[in-house]
């Protein structure tokens, strides 16, 4: 509360009374002295500013009034002042941190927690230490001023050299432009060099013009997929001007058509990303199943081991999730491959030719591995940190954004698939695997050690399952039951694509992923899987050996 000095005639009049009026005269003199001291302090505080600071002080003084419309005019004046401190002032005013001390100095509260607050001079930025709440007077605002401040801050940000700040500012101005902002915004559009910022500002200005009933504004908004643009066009459709309403409706029809296309592309992308996970999970199973004829029910737990390897690497290298993830690729492969060799040497080699016993034995192994993880680590899920370069989305347009982690998983699947194709087509191991797959007896008679091929094949298939776990750790939480969610789908992919055929696994996995993604929105996750399962059963009735059947005498028998 400011105390202004009493006018001098009033003081003289108070001193003209009788002796009985002396206490009143003393009180008046005391008030006069206090007022003079406060006024002198305020004058001294203001006299310390000169030149640009004096002009800036006048801008801030205009904010410290009782009239909210006057404060709105003061905000506009700050925006038009081109002062480099304007954004800080407006932001502090919006957050309630722009305040005034008892001696008239404007300060910015740096931290409003606790009893005493650290403050800095609003003009010089000089730290002034801590002040109690009683020493500060906050400059109040209402909701209308808050909206005005947000728009004003966005306008100030348009002059920033930071491109991302300008883009964010242009985004905030959509639907917020009024008559006061229209003229300066037109000047900014002419000077802006970035195409994206210029397009956003043009749309923001066009929305304002459309609200004023301008027909030409529809052309600037046509084709935009931004939700605020569609809101503005919908309002125009319900407006009183039939010409503008018809033009807006035509623009909306075109936008809806583009939206349907983008939704289809988004569904396709998510279907391919889901399919890539199925391919990674199933491709190792396709190799072992095709070569050895083993129904490995522990394949899901080999995927789980790869995921836990990724989590363990991040514990060993804290603070560097990107490096840990890269090192997890060979580590996950080796851990699952060694586990696969142990399973093959310890159990499967004694059960060759007995598929039912192999199925039951590997199912028991899967339960043992799950319980081992629960006991050694925890039954609770573990979160694997996604590196910064895999976080976020690639924004194609206002209606389509592609998440980077799924894009990396899709690319990783294609790389693993290409590496496996090279191994199978260009190496001796691949030649021997294909020979054993087509005719085991003939391969033995030609000197190929089928037992060694079985070990290497099982290790390769298990290692690929570990790579699937590394990829899945970036999409979901890591837990003991992780592999159980993919084992059935993996067998479906193998059977649908053709046992032992890598191309069939790729096509089947991606196809089933897309089909699931298309069905889930209207059928639900469970019913969608049932429909896919029924489809595969019917397909197998027609083509028992899948999309890409094996070749060779063994396959024909």
DSSP annotation string for 274-336:
HHHHHHHHHHHHHHHHHHH----TTHHHHHHHHHHHHHHHHHHSTT-HHHHHHHHHHHHHHHH
Q: Are 436 and 453 contacting, i.e. CB atoms less than 8 angstroms apart?
A: yes
pLDDT for residue 18: 42
Q: Average of pLDDT values for 500-520?
A: 88
Residue 20: pLDDT over 80: no
Q: How many whole angstroms separate alpha carbon 5 and alpha carbon 89?
A: 30
Q: Average of pLDDT values for 151-167?
A: 82
pLDDT for residue 5: 36
Q: How many residues does the chain have?
A: 557
Model's pTM, two decimal places?
Answer: 0.73
Q: Average of pLDDT values for 95-104?
A: 86
Tens-digit pLDDT profile for residues 282-302: 988 888 877 777 788 899 999
What is the side-by-side order of every strand in the sheet holding 127-132?
127-132, 116-121, 106-109, 98-101, 136-138
CA dihedral for 457, 460, 463, 465, sign (positive or negative): negative
Tens-digit pLDDT profile for residues 456-465: 888 998 999 9
Give all domains of the chain, ordered by start, each with its CATH number: 8-47 (no CATH), 52-143 (2.30.30), 262-386+404-552 (1.10.3470)
């Amino acid at each position: 509360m400011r105390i202004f000095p009493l006018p001098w005639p009033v003081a003289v009049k108070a001193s003209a009374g009788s002796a009985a009026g002396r206490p009143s005269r003393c009180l008046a003199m005391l008030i006069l002295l206090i007022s003079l001291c406060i006024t002198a302090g305020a004058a001294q505080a203001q006299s310390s500013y000169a030149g640009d600071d004096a002009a800036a002080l006048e801008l801030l003084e205009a904010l410290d009034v009782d009239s909210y419309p006057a404060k709105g005019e003061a905000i506009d004046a700050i925006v038009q002042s081109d002062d480099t401190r304007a954004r800080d002032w407006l932001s502090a005013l919006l957050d309630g941190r722009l305040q005034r001390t008892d001696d008239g100095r404007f300060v910015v509260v740096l931290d409003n927690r606790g009893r005493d607050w650290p403050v800095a001079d609003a003009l010089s930025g000089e730290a002034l230490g801590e002040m109690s709440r009683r020493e500060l007077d906050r400059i109040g605002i209402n909701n209308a001023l808050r909206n005005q401040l947000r728009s004003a801050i966005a306008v100030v940000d348009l002059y920033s050299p930071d491109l991302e700040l300008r883009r964010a500012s242009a985004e905030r101005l959509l639907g917020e432009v009024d008559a006061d902002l229209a003229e300066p915004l037109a000047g900014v559009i002419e000077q802006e060099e970035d195409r994206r910022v210029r397009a956003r500002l043009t749309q923001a200005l066009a929305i304002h013009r459309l609200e004023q009933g301008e027909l030409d504004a529809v052309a600037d908004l046509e084709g935009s997929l931004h939700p605020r643009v569609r809101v503005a066009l919908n309002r125009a459709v319900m407006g009183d001007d039939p010409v503008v309403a018809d033009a807006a409706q035509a623009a909306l029809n075109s936008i809806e058509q583009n939206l349907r296309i983008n939704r289809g592309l988004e569904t396709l992308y998510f279907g391919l990303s889901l399919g890539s996970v199925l391919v990674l999970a199933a491709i190792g199973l396709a190799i072992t199943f095709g070569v050895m004829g083993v129904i490995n029910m522990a394949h899901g737990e080999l995927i789980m081991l790869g995921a836990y390897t990724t989590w363990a690497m991040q514990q060993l290298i804290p603070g560097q999730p990107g490096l840990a993830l890269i090192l997890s690729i060979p580590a996950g492969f080796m851990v699952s491959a060694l586990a696969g060799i142990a399973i093959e040497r310890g159990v499967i080699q004694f059960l060759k030719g007995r598929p039912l016993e192999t199925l039951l034995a590997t199912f028991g192994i899967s339960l043992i591995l799950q319980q081992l993880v629960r006991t050694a680590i925890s039954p609770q899920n573990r979160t694997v940190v996604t590196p910064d370069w895999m976080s976020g989305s690639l924004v194609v347009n206002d209606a389509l954004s592609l998440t980077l982690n799924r894009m990396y998983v899709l690319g990783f699947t294609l790389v693993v698939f290409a590496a496996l194709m090279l191994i199978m087509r260009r190496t001796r191991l691949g030649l021997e695997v294909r020979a054993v797959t087509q005719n085991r007896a003939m391969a033995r008679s030609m000197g190929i050690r089928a037992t060694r091929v079985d070990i290497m094949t099982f290790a390769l298939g298990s290692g690929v399952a570990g790579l699937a776990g590394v990829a899945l750790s970036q999409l979901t939480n890591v837990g003991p039951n992780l592999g159980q969610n993919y084992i059935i789908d993996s067998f479906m992919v193998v059977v649908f694509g053709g046992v032992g055929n890598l191309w069939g696994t790729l096509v089947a996995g991606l196809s089933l992923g897309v089909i699931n993604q298309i069905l889930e929105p209207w059928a639900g996750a469970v019913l969608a899987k049932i429909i896919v399962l029924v489809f595969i059963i019917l397909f197998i009735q027609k083509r028992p050996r899948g999309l890409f059947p094996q070749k060779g005498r063994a396959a024909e028998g």
